[in-house]
Amino acid sequence: MSTEIINELFKILKQRRTADPSTSYVAGLYAEGSDQILKKIGEEAAELLIAGKGGLENEIIHETADLWFHSLVLLAYNEIDADRIMSELERRLGKSGLEEKVSRPRK
């Protein structure tokens, strides 16, 4: 998977922090704050669940893209670089899910 599109989109999302909320969907989300961004992530996750249950490939792709997009909005809002997520995924690569989960610090 190419990370170029993620990095390019993330740059645009960071730029939207200073955009006019009346002309930018993302700037509007930022202006409404984290609760609105989290609400959108929840909605998109629910829509992905429904698409997954229906098994229609195009709907799954569309809803996954929506969920990823809004997750990137949350990262940009919190000034967390997308590269940090890629690094975390890279760190987990090659580990079993069970092994990786046990290695996490306890909360």
Could you tell me the domains of the chain?
4-103 (1.10.287.1080)
pLDDT digits (tens, 9 = 90+) for 37-90: 999 999 999 999 999 999 999 999 999 999 999 999 999 999 999 999 999 999
Q: Are 7 and 79 in contact (CB under 8 A)?
A: no
pLDDT of the residue at 105: 78
Kindly indicate the confidence band of residue 106, based on its pLDDT and cuts at 50, 70 and 90: confident
Alpha-carbon distance of 22 to 60, in angstroms, equals 30
Mean pLDDT computed over 14-42: 97
Select the highest-mean-pLDDT range: 2-16, 58-72, 88-102: 58-72
Q: Are 44 and 67 in contact (CB under 8 A)?
A: yes
Q: Computed from CA positions of residues 101, 3, 66, 19, in that sequence, does the dihedral angle turn out positive or negative?
A: positive
pTM: 0.85
